[in-house]
Structure 1
Amino acid sequence: MKKFLFESHKVLCLGLFNGFNSLQIYPNIYTYPTIYKKLHGVEKYIYRLKEHGIFNKNMEQWYGAWKEKIKDVDTIMISDGIRGRDIIQFIHKENPSARIIVYYLNSNFSHGRNEPSKYKDLPCELVTFDKKNAEEYQIQFKHYYYPRMETRTFAIDATDNNTYKQDIFFIGEDKGRLNELLKWKEIFEKMGRCTCKFLILKTKHKFYFKHRNELISKPIPYDEVIKEIKQSRAILDFAQSRQHGLTYRPMEAMCFQKKLITNFEEITDYNFYNPKNIFRLSHDNINDLKSFLEQPYEPVDDSIREEYVAANWLDSFFQ
């Protein structure tokens, strides 16, 4: 069994690091998916007042059970679910020698409480999955991982069934992309001569006058998503205009050995990019799409895939 560098450390992971439950086999890794306690009624109202700077004292009373572990670890990793400087200040006060890492899996901050510029003077490392944000805020870039990317055998087993229900599969929330997504679906079907299945999740609190038949009202279980991926030749990755970081879709394609169709311009910067596997909407000829899908997938080298395994991703912070 591979020996990891993080095994010589005690690591506390706060927030939503998907798939980190697989690391619970290591007794030195402590995972807490929620940073703040669940609050209700008056208690929640008081917390909101404090969060917005009114009576902003003793915020630690709202923290989860993880705060009891602070003095027992040497490294704390925090997801961008962080909602204020108080978390880092509290950790540093309780354990001044601990290494604190904040990882951003969000491209759009809108001057919110988790914007990187608000933490740069604190004793912590700021890391992001978004290359443009890394340049803008002068912080470290590190791509994310894919929780299901565990072994080569898993990926091969996932593609044993060559009975395809559709050529192209898309799943994702509307987020203002509905019209563009439906436009591309029509292009794929008419010009690309492809069959498609699109599952577009309604944006909360948005009323839809049309296209209701193309929308789903609630997320579907992720195991169902994987089932659809297995039954498709390709996955559509349709990034939002302000996004410059890698989403799950390209990593799903790599894991399950599926072709990828994408509008993500920076895809060529990643070491798994292969024009025989990845069709760029802004670059490739739509008339070639059908033949692109019919060509065999070229497996990504194991050494590259390994970078997107959760344990290896965590280990990279200690190299």
Structure 2
Amino acid sequence: MNFVQKKILFISPYFFGYEKAIAARLRELGAEVDFYNERPSDTIITKGMIRVKSKLYQKKILRYYEKLWHKLEGKNYDYFLLIKGESIPLSFLEKFVSANPDTSKIFYSYDAAAEYPKFLKLYPFFDSNFTFEPSDAKRYHLHFRPLFFLEDYKLSEKISPPKFNVAFIGTAHTDRYLIGEKVRNLCSERGFKTFFYYYAPGKLAFVLKKIFDKNLQHFDMNRLSFSKLKHSEIAEIYRESFSVLDINKPFQNGLTMRTFEALASGKKLLTTNCDIKNYPFYHPENIHILDRNDIEINADFFQTEFRKLDASILEKMSLDSWLHCLFFQHQDDYWGIKQCFN
């Protein structure tokens, strides 16, 4: 991977510090990176206004991107990487593409087009379009590239016996709490020790969301935290755990970041995502698939140790491999998109 003296425009929303890790790694590899937040601000109100497509807020978005355009004029970039693109105006992309015909333009999504139909309007502006969602890759003829893990989570010294049998750390949304509590109760019946951390970015926003989302109406607010954990803190909790619970959104098949972080940590995974069977690293000794409509836990899963992943598989799951895939050579054949859906 040769990024030496390459100039990269990187636009992305803030997502739990991963955008900082991506920019930092690109710089370590020799690139000059100009990073800009995809949103004018990152407040709860801003995110909500973007989601409901407020015309009033669209004016603020346009002003933000007009100022950004003035900063970028005259700069010659080798690459433009956009992640998600929920709020970026199409008019900005039109100007950028017209003014930078020689720039390699790359789009990556860690959400499904069913949730963000705007993605369909973004694809034509980019030379390479990548998604973590296998059904989108097949339907819209995109490159398929799952997410990655950060070095914080790389396999470390085990704690024996582990402090927790099952750990869950995740944002409170959709049916996560309902499923999480079923798992926690089943673990309690079996005498398993658990760690559950449900996160929400703001109390008021969550209370309002709770009114309209039936999945959240039974949420015990005392079990909710409004503080983000650092990656080093999450990695330490994983280190203390035998397994990690993953609960994907019910309308997404793409694997969460948690999947890769848990496996890179050498931890077994309990997941509601049955599509994980189609990935090269799947092994039933390491991964227990849960039926979100009928949660059952096989106690035998906790009787065997984690089956160590081959170094080549672990490398493909890394951030470096993700970067190489997006910037230099797609990995469609390796990840087997054609196998994901019949």
Measured against the shorter chain, the TM-score band is 0.7 to 0.9
Which residue does 1:91 correspond to in 2?
Answer: 96
- Judged with a 3 Å threshold, the aligned counterparts in structure 2 of structure 1 residues 68 and 231 are, in CA distance, closer, same or farther, namely farther
TM-score by length of 2: 0.75
Query: What amino acid is the match of 1:12?
Result: L
Which residue does 1:162 correspond to in 2?
Answer: 160
Q: Radius of gyration: which is bigger?
A: 1
Q: Is the aligned partner of 1:102 residue 2:97?
A: no
Picking from 75, 84, 96, the partner of 1:80 is 84
**CA drift at 1:199:** 1.1
- Alpha-carbon distance in 2 for matches of 1:210, 1:103: 33
- Judged with a 3 Å threshold, the aligned counterparts in structure 2 of structure 1 residues 109 and 189 are, in CA distance, closer, same or farther, namely same
- Alpha-carbon distance in 1 for matches of 2:74, 2:322: 23
- Judged with a 3 Å threshold, the aligned counterparts in structure 2 of structure 1 residues 101 and 64 are, in CA distance, closer, same or farther, namely same
- Judged with a 3 Å threshold, the aligned counterparts in structure 2 of structure 1 residues 176 and 94 are, in CA distance, closer, same or farther, namely same
- Alpha-carbon distance in 1 for matches of 2:297, 2:170: 25
**CA drift at 1:167:** 0.3
- Alpha-carbon distance in 2 for matches of 1:219, 1:196: 19
- Judged with a 3 Å threshold, the aligned counterparts in structure 2 of structure 1 residues 228 and 108 are, in CA distance, closer, same or farther, namely farther
Query: What amino acid is the match of 2:128?
Result: E
Query: What amino acid is the match of 1:75?
Result: Y
- Alpha-carbon distance in 1 for matches of 2:8, 2:133: 24
Matches for 1:1-319 after TM superposition, within 5 Å? 4-7=1-4, 9-16=6-13, 17-20=19-22, 21-35=24-38, 52=58, 60-63=65-68, 67=72, 70-71=75-76, 73-83=77-87, 84-107=89-112, 110=115, 115-148=118-151, 155-156=154-155, 158-177=156-175, 178-190=177-189, 192-202=190-200, 204-206=205-207, 207=210, 211-282=220-291, 286=296, 288-289=298-299, 291-317=300-326, 318-319=328-329
- Alpha-carbon distance in 2 for matches of 1:300, 1:279: 16
- Alpha-carbon distance in 1 for matches of 2:227, 2:310: 36
- Unaligned runs of at least 5 residues, structure 2: 14-18, 44-48, 211-216, 330-342
Query: What amino acid is the match of 1:119?
Result: L
**CA drift at 1:243:** 1.2
- Unaligned runs of at least 5 residues, structure 1: none
- Alpha-carbon distance in 2 for matches of 1:64, 1:222: 33
When the two structures are aligned, how many residues end up with a matched partner?
A: 299
Query: What amino acid is the match of 2:149?
Result: Y
- Judged with a 3 Å threshold, the aligned counterparts in structure 2 of structure 1 residues 282 and 120 are, in CA distance, closer, same or farther, namely same
